[in-house]
Amino acid sequence: MSKKRVKKGEKIATFFKDNYSKSWAYIKESKNFIWAVIILFSLSIVLGVLFQPPVIINLILDYIQEVLIKTEGMSTSSMIGFILTNNLQSGFMGIIYGVFFGIFPIMVTIANGYIVGYVSSSAVSSSGVSSLLNLLPHGIFELPAIFISFGMGLKFGTFVFHKEIIKHFNKFFLNSLRVFVFVVLPLLVIAAIIEGVLMFI
């Protein structure tokens, strides 16, 4: 192997290492926002378990039915692609639309938590508490990725409250995109593969 190739490989490795380190540093800096999303999500789960008006439940069931129709007959690879695409869109929009005072990630967090609460309570009612263990693999990588994305979006929306608005806009935006590429994306890829494969087991 030539020295030129070795140096190129070292540069690529350094590039990924630096950006990965910066991503985790920004995640640590944003931990309060991520925790806020996790708490809101948890409270929404409780709401989904305890409060189930027919109007909202019918909307959820219609949504689930729509997803089932879209995914009917899909192969494992197609299912993985479908799950990954949806999760990437959700995570990315959670960051980008967070610019509007963080309203979008807050609303989507509440909606997702509520759906998880309803689905979990339905699963327990029909198959017992042990059924929750079947749901665990589906969220073990996906949920942390979404929490991080929405936490980034929530923080992004606070740029307007800083004196140097443009500076903080650029800082929050660029750091959020770095986190999305180097942390969230790999987690969502793993999540999609696990979920896609489990669909056929």
Residue position matching structure tokens 């709401």: 47
pLDDT digits (tens, 9 = 90+) for 7-30: 777 888 888 899 999 999 999 999
- Give the percent of the chain with pLDDT over 70: 94
Residue 128 pLDDT grade (very low, low, confident, very high; cuts 50, 70, 90):
confident
pLDDT digits (tens, 9 = 90+) for 98-109: 988 889 999 999
- Give the pLDDT of residue 123: 83
**Average pLDDT of the segment spanning 142-167:** 93
- For residues 152 and 189, what is the distance between their CA atoms, to the nearest angstrom? 19
User: Nearest-CA neighbor of 26 among 178, 143, 185, 184?
Assistant: 178
pLDDT digits (tens, 9 = 90+) for 176-189: 999 999 999 999 99
Structure tokens at 113: 């938590």
- For residues 184 and 148, what is the distance between their CA atoms, to the nearest angstrom? 7
Structure tokens at 173: 């935006």
pTM: 0.90
- Give the pLDDT of residue 33: 97
**Could you tell me if 83 and 196 are in contact, meaning their C-beta atoms sit under 8 angstroms apart?**
yes
**Average pLDDT of the segment spanning 119-132:** 80
Domain boundaries, the chain: 17-198
Which letter does DSSP use for residue 73 in this model?
A: T
- Give the pLDDT of residue 13: 83
**Average pLDDT of the segment spanning 187-194:** 92
Q: Is 1's pLDDT higher than 70?
A: no
- For residues 70 and 58, what is the distance between their CA atoms, to the nearest angstrom? 18
pLDDT digits (tens, 9 = 90+) for 46-80: 999 999 899 999 999 999 899 888 888 888 889 88
**Average pLDDT of the segment spanning 89-100:** 92
